[in-house]
Each structure stands twice: as structure tokens, then as C-alpha cells.
Amino acid sequence: MPNATVLESKKAVVETLTGKMKESTSVVFVDYKGITVAQDTALRKQFRDAGVDYAVVKNTLTRFAAKNVGYDFDEVLNGTTAMACTIGDPIAPARIASEFAKKNKNVLKIKGGVVEGSVLSAEQLSSFGELPSKDALVAQVLGTFLAPISSLAFVLDQIREQKEGGTAAPAEA
């Protein structure tokens, strides 16, 4: 039977993990078995730069925290486990972990997780590695919206120049 101090510290860890899971837009569990110190340092830097909280977690305490939030990760939480979570870009943890696994000969394996309230499998989370970041997607969409407007402005300017007797040649389509 554990003493009261140990039990209280474990309860505090469970409460902290529960809070992180409730606040996060995504939580991804990874198996880090076989990762070197240099690789781990590089991975932690990528996560930190993206605003992702990454930490090694105890499976039993994490299982209790997940159940407090309403998730069941019994089959995921075994072996070596680390948790990456964020309140920012929901695909960032999965994207970074997936890209890192590809570049480093699969020393990191995604086990499963949650993105915006939906429990996803390792395969689903790994597919996020193919997606650009949220900011890049927003920029692409804005660029797509901007292209027709820019073309229209150019054509209208050419028409204006022609009517004013300018030397501009008609625009080619």
C-alpha cells in the first residue's frame, strides 16, 4: 500500500494530465522506444517551436486522466509512452511526430490520440504528416481567393488604359 505522500503526488499528476487533456485541441500518444538523446532533443525543440507540450507520461496515471475526460486509451497506453498536446494548431503534434518518424527511420511511433474531441487511430494521425500547417493552409486559401481579384484588377486597369488612349496592349487570356 503506497503511503499518503506518494498517493497525493500521483493524484496531483492525474489532475494535471486531466486538465491538459481537457484544454487541448489535440493530444497524441507516441512510443519513443529506441530514440537517441540527440533525436529526442531535436524532437522536443520542434514541438516547443510549434507550441506543443511534450512529456513522457506514466501509462496508469494517464489512463486515469483519460477516463476522467471520457476517453478510453487502454490499448494505446502500454510500453514506453510520451504525450504531445497543444491548445494551438490541432494537427501540429501529429504532423511533427509523423514527419520525425519518417526522417528518423521510424524510431518514433504514433499510438493514437484525440483531435478536437474525436478519438483517432495511429493511421489517421499519421496521415496528418502529409498536411501543411494551419497557417500554410490559411495562406493557400487566401492566395486562392486573391488570384481572381488580382486578375480582375489587372484586366480593368488594361481597359481603363485603352479608353484613356494609352499605349497599353490588350491583355491576353
| Average pLDDT of span 37-56 | 92
State pLDDT tens for residues 131-153.
Answer: 666 677 777 777 777 778 878 78
Separation CA 113–CA 91 (nearest Å)? 11
Domain ranges (residues) in the chain: 4-131, 132-173
| Average pLDDT of span 26-50 | 92
List phi, psi (to 5°) of 55: -155, 150
Task: Look at residue 173 and tell me whether its pLDDT is greater than 70.
Answer: no
Q: How many CB atoms lie within 10 A of CB 61?
A: 18
Instruction: Note the pTM of the prediction, 2 decimals.
Output: 0.72
The pLDDT, as a whole number, for residue 2 is 67
Strand, coil or helix: 82: strand
Indicate the pLDDT class of residue 42, thresholds 50, 70 and 90: very high
Task: Look at residue 74 and tell me whether its pLDDT is greater than 60.
Answer: yes
Separation CA 129–CA 91 (nearest Å)? 9
Task: Look at residue 170 and tell me whether its pLDDT is greater than 70.
Answer: no
The fraction of the chain above a pLDDT of 70, given in percent, is 90
Fold of 4-131: Alpha-Beta Plaits (3.30.70)
Between residues 130 and 58, the one the model is more confident about: 58
